[in-house]
Amino acid sequence: MTDFINTAASRSLETAVQDHFIPAEAPWSGIVRKGQTIRIEDSYGQQAIDTLFYRADDFAERYSNQDTMRAQGGAYIGVGTQIISNEGNVMLVMTADSCGRHDTSAGACSCESNTVRFGHGTKYLHACRDNFVLEVSKHGMSKRDIVPNINFFMNVPIKPNGEMTIVDGISAPGDYVELVAEMDVLCVISNCPQINNPCNGFDPTPVRVLVWDGED
């Protein structure tokens, strides 16, 4: 992992072809071309960044958490993980990770799940599923196109009996992951607005997304 991180740390911010600031609780989407590197940065630390990927020229092909976990034989996303689509194709490969804990099992928060977990008083609080619906609609998709996602920087220990619990995040300010696209992809992000569990330290904060062209 150290070699990947050292390479990423030396990347010049001035050469980024995209640089996006995502406010706290907000969604974002953008195209990452084959060969480009996308960096997703947890700017203030302890912020879950819910993320989906779709094939840019055919949204019916999209991220599959089941195929990704099966292909790597593990429950978490890390350096070297191939992000696999529902068609069995490699969409991206993670090449850098300064945090070390990224969930792809717990899914996105929703108004419905908030109500079940935290009571009816939370029913109208903003949630990641709302963000995803809003953002994918810009690309002609709908709620039914939202699939189980990656939760970058979200700490979800899994017990031997399969139980999962969302606990305090371990990411520090400025921690990041980098992924190289193996095909043109649409990246869709919900900068998680959850305030009822510790995935955001109970205080949602802004994040940053950068993209670099590949080396010739």
Please state the rounded mean pLDDT for residues 131-143. Answer: 97
Q: What is the share, in percent, of the chain residues with pLDDT greater than 70?
A: 88
pTM tops 0.85: yes
Average pLDDT over residues 7-21: 84
- Can you tell me the distance from the alpha carbon of 59 to that of 167, in angstroms, rounded to the nearest whole number? 33
Q: What value does the mean pLDDT take over residues 6-28?
A: 86
pLDDT of residue 20: 98
Long-range contacts of 114-117 (CB under 8 A, 24+ apart): 114/194, 114/196, 117/196, 117/197
Contact, 177 vs 94, CB < 8 A? Answer: yes
| pLDDT above 80 for 159 | yes
Tokens found for residue 26: 């907000």
Residue 86 has pLDDT above 90, yes or no: yes
Which pLDDT tens digit goes with each residue over 178-200? 999 999 999 999 999 998 888 89
pLDDT at residue number 124: 65
The predicted structure's pLDDT at residue 6: 47
pLDDT (mean) for 74-82:
94
Instruction: With CA atoms as reference, report the closest residue to 46 among 164, 159, 174.
Output: 174
Q: Kindly list the distances between the CA atom of residue 210 and the CA atoms of 14, 74, 116, 139, in Å, as whole numbers in the listed order.
A: 10, 27, 36, 21
